A and B are shown apart, each in its own frame.
Chain A
Amino acid sequence: MSNVLRKEAAVTDRQAIRNPDTADAADAAQESAYVLEAREVTKHFTVRGALGRTSVVRAVEQATVRLKPGQILALVGESGSGKTTLARMLARFHEPTEGEIVLRGEPVSGSRRARRAYHSEVQLIFQDPFGSLNPLHRVRYNLERALRLHQPQLDRAGRERRITELLERVSLTPTDEFAAKFPHELSGGQRQRVVIARALAVEPKVLLGDEPISMLDVSIRLEMLNLLQRLRTEDGLALLYITHDIASARYLCDEIAVMYAGQMVESGPKEEVIAAPQHPYTKLLIESSPDPERGVDDREALFAGADELGEPPSLIDPPTGCRFHPRCPFAMPECREQAPPRTELGNGHWAMCWLHTKGRAGELAGTTHAEATAARRRTLEGAS
């Protein structure tokens, strides 16, 4: 822990030196405890149906994300939960409908110049390494272009030096050989490393990785996770790791935030969230994830009651109250009527669930989603 703090302090110092116009260095240190924040951001998309009817997709509602230097936050949830939209707001591809994006304590503005300055600090890595490199140009050109745009002070020789450094950084050696290759000559893992090298070319403070390993072969995913881990420890990068793979999130990150149907439902230190989830949806997600260690001994129990787990709701007409209530085996009348308040559980762990305000949170630990669903069905049948 102290190690992390020291790292943070070191990074903050560096930032203070780089920003001489900040009047008070101590102030800057305070501000940059978080390098990038999304403060209660909401994104609604208007879509037009085939018959000309418009409807509003409530993709993200009131989501808050805070990234610290040298820290990795995993954002997990099913597809359609809003994690990519949130990342795109953080990358400024989408303007939030409400709320603001804050870079080192300063809300960001929309001007062109501000945008470029922003992208020299915050870089996004996409899922598909095949689609994100220009296929007509060699690796050298792909990297050089980022350097020309974001490091105009470098001359030709300087850029060439940087390219070598970057390729070494992502272990693509011999660098000369890799710089001269076209993207199609590289494997998926090598391509994704070029994408990461290009993101690093601008010396960002924050990397946003939208499922950066999900299209890679299993045997090379670990290399990529280890590389991201190294960038965090050695360069003090802040990383938002978006994934649906909870085991890889646990391997890489410090904290986990869980999204469901456009809302953040729980966030906290990874081991706490995984070992003792405090929201019924987190619980369902973790119980559904494959775990080789849990293994092969009792398959019956592993899949018991998993026949009907339900599906996420439409974001055009989301459920009232807590959006998880139609699938939740613990749902109470208030869950249908009112969105749950956020309950702080200490140690930076919080959850948005009525169970906590009603003193029923203990029920989460003693059962599984499937068992709780079956028990609820029995009660309902008994009552009718």
Chain B
Amino acid sequence: MTEVARNADIAADAPVAAAIPPRATARRRSAKPMIDRYRWWEVVGLYAGIALFLIFVLSPFIEGFLVSLKPLSQLFSSPYSFWPKNGSFQAYFDMWRSVPALGIHIFNSLFISSVVTLIVIAIVVPAAYAFARFEFSGSGLLLGAFLAVNMFSGAVLLIPLFRLMRSLGFLNTYWAMIVPGAAFLIPSSIWLLRTYLMRIPRELDEAAWADGASRLYTLRRVILPLAAPGIVVVAIMTFIGAYAQQFIFALTFNSKTEFMPLPIGLFGFFGRQEVLWNELMAASFVGILPVMIVIVFLQRYLVAGLTAGAVKQ
């Protein structure tokens, strides 16, 4: 696990190196160790490979964005043309009329993700602390059991979850999307925060104990302030996870337009006979915007968070 922590540090340091002004970089490059120097054809090969790779990863976004700029008449014409002719942002204005509830859907998506994040953080902080600090018989097994939850998708448990939501009276409310959504985000958040908490020296707990502080006081006044950056990372990751995964529970447990999150709102739009593709893509980009903002401003935390989150064991 310390390995991962180290990678996370390396990844987090990378942007700092990139931020060095050009002249300094030039000097740095000449000071680059011989082992990292490439021949010109190696550099060409690397960039070509990366270009190919990124084209695969980004082409849907590029195409989606260009489609959002094209007028419908150009979209539905042959032969296909990649670049928009007299493109405009008209679709970004028209979509609010075609999907009257669009604003509500966007709000719902953000609202559901926020509540999920609050629930997950409230549950995960004490649990991660317990796993990071206390060794008791069965703690390893319990942690394993939590991680095993990750292996089951909500889709498999849909029938009993549906019945559970019905008997709790949650169907067609926000809770039907929030409660199951949070459950499947708890395990990896525990893992991520535990990793972070293990890096806080144990001596601090012991010093507080020696000074007569209670365990709860130690958690609240010593550990939580130190863990704040870690908790922020976990909160961001949970929010992104909750935002990205809104589909199956919302599709199955809710049929009221006023509670639908964006993906489901747009899915109805997508299924129609005559799809207004330019407006659908425009609405999709508005939906992606919050995540893009997070990526741009918090990417250094994100790399660390995603990596540690992926390394389940």
Co-assembled chains A and B = no
* Chain B residues packing against A (C-beta within 8 Å): none
* Chain A residues packing against B (C-beta within 8 Å): none
